[in-house]
């Protein structure tokens, strides 16, 4: 029986407290905490199964792995893997799906609450001790509002988008799914993006990043949003032109933004949003929306199941 060598290039993306079952087949597992671009070929060499979250697996990596059978991405997005090169070399590729369908929607609702209830502002008020100086029993220094009065647009009607909508519906929020910008006629269940955008109190991005929508949230789009509207992005940082977003927040046109992603991660000190990290109308979390213990446990269970099915001869779950 062949002992398959499994290499996890960035196992440090899985917290130490998460446990997962061993694969059912004979194997040797090597987990690297972090792998830089210059280390990938050396560490991948000799692998039968290569696991990656964000480490790039391109044709040069594949070429160095003559025994490679499967590239397993420990995420849904596979833009870090050259799928066409996999196809040409007869190497299969899999991802994991649906594991964050509760975690990400909860992040969205939590941060919509944080923005509407001005949590960063009132945290600062409390930190400064200003409540203790109030003439009254309360201190209302910024307006707050209820979700039931809001009109929210969601771009993306996948599992996460629908789950966000279901949760907001429980609060009485008016929720609509937006058709892709520039689409002449909205599909059933969608509304026209350009007509609806100026009416929204909040825009939530729940869509993948593609060549067509890269930096779609730019100065022009932001200018068409209602003054004081909110932007939430738990999806991909590349959807947003960050300099334009920083300008919209600084000017006060945008009422607030909550982001779990930026264009280059980890965030760099020259990112315009980094300079606004203490701004009371901006919340940036370090790409954690997917990472509840429950979600990561489910991710790893699905990943191991993918490996077991692949070694057993199944291919229906493979992208390539």
Are residues 108 and 86 part of one domain? no
Distances (CA, A) of 110 to 53, 132, 204, 258, 286: 26, 27, 13, 10, 15
Please give the residue range of the domain that contains residue 42. 4-99+293-311
Reported confidence tier of residue 1, pLDDT bands at 50, 70, 90: low
* Average pLDDT value for the chain: 97
pLDDT digits 0-9 by tens, 76-122: 989 899 999 999 999 999 999 999 999 999 999 999 999 999 999 99
Reported confidence tier of residue 295, pLDDT bands at 50, 70, 90: very high
Residue 79 forms part of a structural domain: yes
Q: Supply the pTM of this predicted model.
A: 0.94
Are residues 47 and 170 part of one domain? no
Identify the pLDDT of residue 306: 98
Are residues 113 and 54 part of one domain? no
Residue 152 forms part of a structural domain: yes
Average pLDDT over residues 33-55: 98
Are residues 249 and 156 part of one domain? yes
Are residues 156 and 52 part of one domain? no
Are residues 44 and 66 part of one domain? yes
Residue 51 forms part of a structural domain: yes
Residue 316 forms part of a structural domain: no
Distances (CA, A) of 18 to 96, 97, 291, 299, 305: 17, 18, 11, 10, 16
Q: Catalytic residue positions?
A: 236, 265, 287
pLDDT digits 0-9 by tens, 202-211: 999 999 999 9
Are residues 254 and 174 part of one domain? yes
Identify the pLDDT of residue 64: 96
Burial class (CB in 10 A: 0-12, 13-18, 19+), 172: exposed
Write the CATH number for 93. 3.40.50.720
| Whether the Cβ atoms of residue 123 and residue 283 lie closer than 8 Å to each other | no
Q: What is the C-alpha separation between 71 and 175, in angstroms, rounded?
A: 38
pLDDT digits 0-9 by tens, 273-293: 999 999 999 999 999 999 999
Identify the pLDDT of residue 264: 96
Residue 52 forms part of a structural domain: yes
Residue 156 forms part of a structural domain: yes
Are residues 266 and 187 part of one domain? yes
Average pLDDT over residues 65-77: 96
| Whether the Cβ atoms of residue 62 and residue 89 lie closer than 8 Å to each other | yes
Are residues 73 and 201 part of one domain? no
> Number of folded domains in the chain?
2
Are residues 306 and 271 part of one domain? no
Are residues 156 and 258 part of one domain? yes
pLDDT digits 0-9 by tens, 191-245: 999 999 999 999 999 999 999 999 999 999 999 999 999 999 999 999 999 999 9
């Amino acid at each position: 029986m062949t002992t398959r060598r499994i290499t996890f290039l960035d196992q440090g993306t899985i917290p130490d407290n998460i446990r997962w079952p061993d694969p059912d087949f004979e194997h040797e597992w090597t987990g690297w905490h972090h792998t830089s671009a210059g280390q990938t070929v050396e560490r991948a060499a000799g692998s039968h199964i290569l696991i990656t979250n964000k480490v790039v697996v391109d044709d040069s990596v594949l070429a160095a792995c003559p025994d490679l059978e499967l590239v397993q991405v420990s995420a849904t997005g596979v833009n870090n893997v050259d799928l066409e090169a996999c196809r040409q070399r007869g190497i299969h590729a899999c991802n994991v799906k649906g594991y964050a369908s509760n975690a990400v929607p909860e992040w969205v609702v939590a941060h919509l609450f944080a923005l509407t209830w001005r949590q960063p502002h009132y945290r600062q008020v409390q930190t400064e001790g200003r409540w203790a100086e109030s003439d009254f029993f309360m201190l209302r220094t910024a307006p707050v509002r209820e979700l039931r009065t809001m009109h929210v647009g969601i771009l993306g009607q996948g599992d996460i988008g629908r789950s966000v909508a279901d949760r907001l519906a429980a609060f009485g929020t008016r929720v609509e799914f937006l058709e892709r910008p520039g689409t002449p006629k909205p599909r059933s269940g969608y509304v026209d993006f350009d007509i609806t955008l100026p009416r929204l109190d909040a825009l939530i991005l729940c869509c993948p990043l593609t060549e067509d929508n890269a930096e779609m949230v730019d100065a022009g789009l932001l200018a068409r949003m209602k003054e004081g509207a909110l932007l939430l992005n738990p999806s991909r940082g590349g959807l947003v032109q960050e300099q334009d977003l920083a300008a919209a927040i600084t000017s006060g046109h945008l009422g607030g933004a909550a982001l779990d992603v930026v264009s280059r991660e980890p965030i760099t000190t020259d990112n315009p949003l980094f300079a606004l990290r203490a701004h009371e109308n901006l919340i940036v979390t370090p790409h954690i929306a997917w990472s509840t213990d429950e979600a990561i446990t489910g991710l790893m269970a699905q990943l191991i199941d993918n490996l077991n099915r692949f070694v057993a001869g199944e291919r229906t779950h493979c992208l390539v």
